[in-house]
Amino acid sequence: ETGVTQSPTHLIKTRGQQVTLRCSSQSGHNTVSWYQQALGQGPQFIFQYYREEENGRGNFPPRFSGLQFPNYSSELNVNALELDDSALYLCASSLAGVLTDTQYFGPGTRLTVL
């Protein structure tokens, strides 16, 4: 196991609702990246947080937002949920400042939007 934890494991929401997903990074890591993995696809980069600020963003709309806390844990917030938001959401932690750093993934949160 990587030491990266995510909660909740599963979540069911209805269209238009808002959701918050949580991630605790591996000990010693200061960077958290979030990914969306739709069924049958590879993970797609949403954004990365470093020093409590967004440090890069993929092709996702502003209704996807995040936070990073002083203990390096992170939240992913999605507003106005759409059916296509149904996916496995993965967070990965790493140690910034080392370009060869490896991202270690949590088990994911399965979000279903009805």
Partner 1 sequence: AQSVAQPEDQVKVAEGNPLTVKCTYSVSGNPYLFWYVQYPNRGLQFLLKYITGDNLVKGSYGFEAEFNKSQTSFHLKKPSALVSDSALYFCAVRPRNNNNDMRFGAGTRLTVKP
**Do residues 47 and 67 make contact, with C-beta atoms less than 8 angstroms apart?**
no
Q: Which stretch binds partner 1 (CB under 8 A): 12-20, 65-73, 76-84, 103-111?
A: 103-111
Q: Is 2 an interacting residue with respect to partner 1 (CB under 8 A)?
A: yes
**Do residues 49 and 31 make contact, with C-beta atoms less than 8 angstroms apart?**
yes
Q: Where are the beta strands (DSSP E) in the chain?
A: 5-7, 10-13, 19-24, 31-37, 44-50, 53-57, 64-68, 74-78, 87-94, 104-105, 109-113
Residue 112 has which token pair? Answer: 């279903």
Smaller CB separation from partner 1, 74 or 94: 94
Fill in the per-residue mask, 11 to 50: x = in contact with partner 1 (CB under 8 A), - = not in contact. --------------------x-x-x----xxxxxx-xx--
Smaller CB separation from partner 1, 14 or 45: 45
Interacting residues with partner 1 (CB under 8 A): 2, 4, 6, 31, 33, 35, 40-45, 47-48, 55-56, 90, 92, 94, 96, 99-108, 110
